[in-house]
Structure 1
Amino acid sequence: MASAFASQVFSRRHLIQAMAGAIGVTDETAMRRPGKAPLLEEKSLPQTTAATPPGPVRWLQKATFGFTQGDYAAFYSLPGANDDLRWQSWVSQQLNPAAISDTACDARLAGAGFTTLGKTLPQLWAQHRVDNYTTRMQPIAEIECATSIRAIYSNRQLYEVMADFWHDHFSTFGWDYDGGPVFVHYDRDVIRPNVFGNFRTLLEAVCKSTTMMYYLDLQASTVAGPNENYARELIELHTLGAENYAGVMDPQDPSLPVGISGDGTSARLKYVDEDVYESTRVLTGWTIKNGHWQYPADNDGTFIFRDAESWHDRFTKYVLNRRFAPDQGQQDGFKLFDTLASHPGTANFIARKLCRRFVGDNPPSSLVTSIAQLFMSTWQAPDQLKQVTQAILLSNEFKTSWGTKVKRPFNAVIGALRGAGADFTPTLASYGSGTWSTKDEVNSRLQQTGQRKFYWPAPNGYPDTAAAWSSSGSLAMTWKMLVRLTEIHKEVGYDDTRPYLIDIIGLTNGAVAAGSRTAVNIVNYWCDRLLGFRPEPTYTKAVDYLRQNAAATEVLTLNEVWAGGSSPNLKNHYTQSRLRATVALIMCSPDALRR
């Protein structure tokens, strides 16, 4: 154990120094040890570096949860005489996820021992809305684990990326006391079936979902006690966006602009508070069967519209200058969703968010406009979102942009696990006792980075700009998590014979021949594996850190020498520790965190 402890101390102490150099700290004094030779000597290296990754690497980094060599090889097996044509083939393939074999991911999910992922909504409602908190939150806990497994191992990468996007857009706090027990239904039956479908369909499905009903209080909104929480977020976050808010104004003010919606009729282009209040009236009576005292027999958690006089507001309403006739019942809600889904403000808001996810924090206005026009013209198409996603991924703006986004913590961690070929299956092995097993350390520690899945308390979803994730706190915790990935053992135990989550030594030995294991060749391998290219200054700093005082071309010994009990060969042991830290350095580099 003493040697294992020394290994961790060595890794963390020297890794901070190496990371400082990689991000531009070049104070020579900081790189020297008193009375000893410099840790980082300046020596020339082979000119194998590049400023930016090749096109396919860039595209795969942005359209998946992280570049892998397997994905890169699969890309070059696709039809097409050049990279552009192969990319068209990749996008076409990914937009049809049902046709993509995912047996390995499915097998990993099946072997994880989850028991709630296949339960119907009534089953979840009956079996998990109980006082025992562990049982109550088992569905959301299993979805959290399953989401990580799919993000790492699924061949349907674009589908998983888009499921992540729409979960953010229609964000709910997964661990809500009332929504958590049925969160499986929200993920499986509401979000996932519609990621490449129709936005209007998705919008209504979200509204009717039990999780959203409880999260934004729609289930309790009646004519006698209207609750505007859902209606406000429906307009401000789900459709028009705050960018189309006109402020505190009279809805009849002639200065408010009017335009033509996708349905061919006119509508006010900016919303005011009165539109929120009127939308609240429209959606009264949209609720769930939750054993309400008026309907005690209705208690399975499914959606129901109650048209009774005490529930739904029967009188005339006006939303965005459109008249909702009296006594229309549930048709009021259908008309509201039609109005919002076909509105040009919605098209622009959604287009900008999608372009921001794939292209950059400030996507070109010309791209946003063209995508918004496509969104509005296809608002009734069953594959509307498929067409929109395809247009973005095939755009010149997507293909030429690089470094305009940063990876959020979840993406950074999942991408590192993907690239490094980690063997990671988070389960609820110890969840029954209220604790997480060592295998689940990644998910639980993601909370410290600020992006544990389904854990954002506000309805606006996790931020999607560099500024939100570049604070010292968030970045430091992301670095800490990435460093930790190279140290975590797969199994619970206290001896050093346990396998690591990432088999860094084994992968290096398997890829680089014994007589060729120089710092240059090893860093070549790990940069190629994790990043898809060899960027400066990360490349040189990693080589210098790994070799220490040795020549860049000197062969390093990486053989395992300690099987527990006897003292290790410290020279080899420290070289292995330094290699783990080198891999962590590459994972934490600015180049690894760019998209």
Structure 2
Amino acid sequence: MKRGRISASILGLLVLFGQGHCAAAGAEPADCVDPWAPITYPANAAGSNGVTAVEAVRFLNQATFGSTQRDIDHLKHMPLSAWIKEQYGLDASCHLATLNQTQNNSSRENRMEVWWRLAVRAPDQLRQRVAFALSEIFVVSERNSGIPQNALAVYYDVLVRNAFGNFRDILERVTLSPAMGRFLSMLGNQKPDPLLGIRADENYAREVMQLFTIGLVRLDPQGLPMLQDGQPIPTYIQAEVEGLARVFTGWTWGDSLYFTDGDDWRIGMRAFGDYHDRAAKTILDQVRVPARGTAASDLKLALDTIFNHPNVGPFIGRQLIQRLVTSNPSPAYVGRVAAKFNDNGQGVRGDMKAVIEAILLDDEARRGPAANANFGKLREPLLVMAHLWRAFNVALPDGTVPYLYPESSIGQAPLSAPSVFNFFRPDYAPNGAIKNKGLVAPEFQMVTETQSTQLHNELWGRIQWYYSGNPYLDLNNLLVDIEALRVRAAKPATLVDYLDQLLTGRRMPTAVKSSLATYLTKVALGTGASAGTLRALDALYLVISSPYYLIQT
């Protein structure tokens, strides 16, 4: 049955809710696998140091694209650390390998479908979630860049494959990616030649420091700005940007015979010595790059210098915490993560596994508002939709998830940020109480009246129309499976309680749940095969569109 837009009764409830080495050489560290392979969970003895359902939901909403009942049940029987190690043991589900199975690997629509398919269905959820977080730090975008769709898949796989590796490797592979080279002008960057009016391009040199590694000001071990005479201390000066820009000269397509004739996006860039600036250079922290070095040796020295800067641990650690856990981590939390970045306990710097575990297993992440009164983050539209579809088993019969133009319906699409600054900046603070308290809320930079209306209308339509059992639709549509809700619909309080646990981790106040249950008693239960449908649909929409869900804590 076709439903209308939002009824007056539902609007009333919404008002109530609203109050409350070089990458060109060697193989990547993780091979691609068939993303269709089902997750095979080992048997676990009940109660073996597991977590409660509420604790499982909070953890899964941080470590995956959203909690599902199956994953909650699995996690309840094991320590969180065991789940993480289980995820480490899964092979990488890679985007290009999946895209190449389609009829056209240069189709933007196919790339979008593959991204949704892996976000919703891939077993290696932790890897996929970390890769998405990295993609919002090491930003490459299709917008006005001329980067082909299959090249974007190649770039995304750099992050997928290296998500559990070492940050130094990520930094180098990103630097030598032709997609990044095109996006930030390092591809074809030439040594200065005053007679020809050529200057070394500074774009990547600036952004690799400002956005990808160290930031603009020096930080203490807990990520707080260091001051001199009451003012923040800059991390670098313009002369060091210019020196680093000259380091990044001479690199072009990996398949080039000459400097400008290549076109293979699948392999890392290679260097041509005649186009590399071999003069002495001064880079970050006044480190001297000696004259007569090769492009490769200069690059290694530069990336080692950046990687070993004391800012990297707190700068990257804080951003990963923001993407996975909370917008305003305490300085102590940032410090603990940065310490693991600096040394994983075995003398290794940049170990991503140690960083991921430090982020997800930290007491602040696990206890949430009980440990930090400013805990929480707004869910991005992509994460909201991915969670809806994970939790309610959305996919076509062939396993695909063709949601092709998310930017038009929810205001966000993967690898489609408006600039290198991502969809939102990590230090963005909306005017009002948040900014006045010195806090940030990065994802709110996306929120406008238009975008918010788009998202809520899309959620309404995707739930109220695209559901399993709708007699007007067939299996060639993406349908949410509401059977688990239908069977609980006869008891509205039970239905609301189930959704509250599954989606929010029991964040909804008792008064709100009671109001919602009362409203649902006034929605016809129905009979026969469709019994409970209307209650199930209204309950799902009202919970997932409420602030108790949209704000992740």
TM bucket (normalised to shorter chain) is: 0.7 to 0.9
Native 8 Å contact 1:142 1:427 kept in 2: no
Q: Which moved more, 1:176-185 or 1:284-293?
A: 284-293
Which residue pairs with 1:306 in the alignment? 271
Q: Which amino acid aligns with 2:500?
A: C
Structure 1: distance between partners of 2:494 and 2:318 = 43
Q: 346, 351, 359: which one pairs with 1:384?
A: 351
**Displacement after TM superposition at 1:277 (Å):** 0.9
User: Is the counterpart of residue 96 in structure 1 residue 89 in structure 2?
Assistant: yes
SS at match of 1:145: helix
Cα distance, 1:505–1:55 mapped onto 2, change above 3 Å: closer
Name the structure 1 match of 2:152: 183
Q: Aligned partners of 1:384 and 1:558: how far apart in 2?
A: 57
Give, as a single letter, the amino acid of the residue that structure 1 aligns with 2:518: D
TM-score (norm 1): 0.71
Q: In the alignment, does 2:490 pair up with 1:517?
A: yes
Equivalent in 311, 323, 327 of residue 292 of structure 2: 327
1:242 aligns with one of 202, 206, 216: 216
Partner of 2:368: 401
Q: Confirm whether residue 15 of structure 1 aligns to residue 10 of structure 2.
A: yes
The alignment partner of 1:451 has SS state of coil
Check 1:452–1:172 CA distance in 2 against 1; reply closer, same or farther (3 A cut).
same
CA shift at 1:461, angstroms?
2.2
Unmatched 5+ stretches in structure 2: 21-51, 220-227, 370-374, 427-441
Query: 2:472 aligned to 496, 516, 521, which one?
Result: 496
Deviates more, 1:521-530 or 1:276-285: 521-530
Contact 1:523–1:539 under 8 Å retained in 2: yes
Contact 1:239 1:340 in 2 (8 A): yes
**Matched residue SS, 2:211:** helix
Partner SS, residue 4 of structure 2: helix
- 2:47 equivalent in structure 1: none
Whether contact under 8 Å (2:81, 2:361) holds in the other structure is yes
Alignment of 1:188-203 (within 5 A): 188=157, 190-203=158-171
What residue identity is the alignment partner of 1:398?
Answer: A
Equivalent AA in structure 2 for residue 8 of structure 1: G
Alignment check: 8 A CA contact 1:91 1:393 kept: no
Cα–Cα, structure 1 residues 16 and 365, in superposed 2: closer, same or farther, change >3 Å? same
Shift of 1:206: 0.7
**Number of matched pairs:** 476
Matched, 1:460 2:421: yes
1:445 is the counterpart of 2:418? no
Contact 2:463–2:537 (CA<8 Å) still a contact in 1? yes
Superposition deviation, residue 172 in structure 1: 0.6
Cα 1:170/1:96, change in 2 over 3 Å: same
Distance 1:282 1:198, change over 3 A: same
Partner of 2:54: 54
Pairing 1:341-420 to 2, within 5 Å after superposition: 341-377=307-343, 381=348, 384-402=351-369, 404-420=376-392
Judged with a 3 Å threshold, the aligned counterparts in structure 2 of structure 1 residues 114 and 377 are, in CA distance, closer, same or farther, namely closer
1:116 equivalent to 2:100? Answer yes
- The answer to whether the aligner puts 1:486 opposite 2:468 as a matched pair is no
Letter in 2 for 1:23: G
The structure whose RCO (Cα within 8 Å, separation 6+) is larger is 1
Measured at CA, do residues 12 and 469 of structure 1 come closer, stay the same or move farther in structure 2, by a change above 3 Å?
A: farther
| 1:405 positional shift | 1.2
SS of structure 1 residue aligned to 2:288: strand
Q: Distance in 2 between matches of 1:549 and 1:300?
A: 58
Matched, 1:584 2:545: no
More helix by share: 1
Aligned residue in 1 for 2:222: none
Task: Supply the RMSD in Å over aligned alpha carbons.
Answer: 3.5
Q: Distance in 2 between matches of 1:504 and 1:72?
A: 18
User: Quick one: distance in 2 between partners of 1:54 and 1:446?
Assistant: 32
Q: Counterpart in 2 of 1:431?
A: none
Q: What is the CA-CA distance between 1:278 and the residue it aligns to?
A: 0.7
Question: Which of 386, 395, 401 lines up with 1:423 in the alignment?
Answer: 395
- The answer to whether the 8 A contact 2:186-2:203 is kept is yes
Q: 1:458 to 1:256 in 2, by over 3 A?
A: farther
Once residues 454 and 445 of structure 1 are traced to their aligned partners in structure 2, the CA distance between those partners, rounded to angstroms, is: 12
Answering whether residue 249 of structure 2 is matched by residue 284 of structure 1, we say yes
Contact 2:177 2:268 in 1 (8 A): yes
Contact 1:63 1:161 in 2 (8 A): yes
In 1, Cα distance between the equivalents of 2:481 and 2:269?
54
| Uncovered stretches (5+) of structure 1, i.e. residues with no partner | 26-51, 79-85, 119-133, 246-254, 258-267, 429-438, 551-555, 562-571
Amino acid at match of 1:94: Q
TM-score of the aligned structures, taking structure 2 as reference length: 0.76
Contact 1:116 1:142 in 2 (8 A): no
Cα deviation for residue 503 of structure 1 reads 4.8
1:74 pairs with 2:74:
yes
In 2: Cα distance, 1:342 partner to 1:280 partner: 19
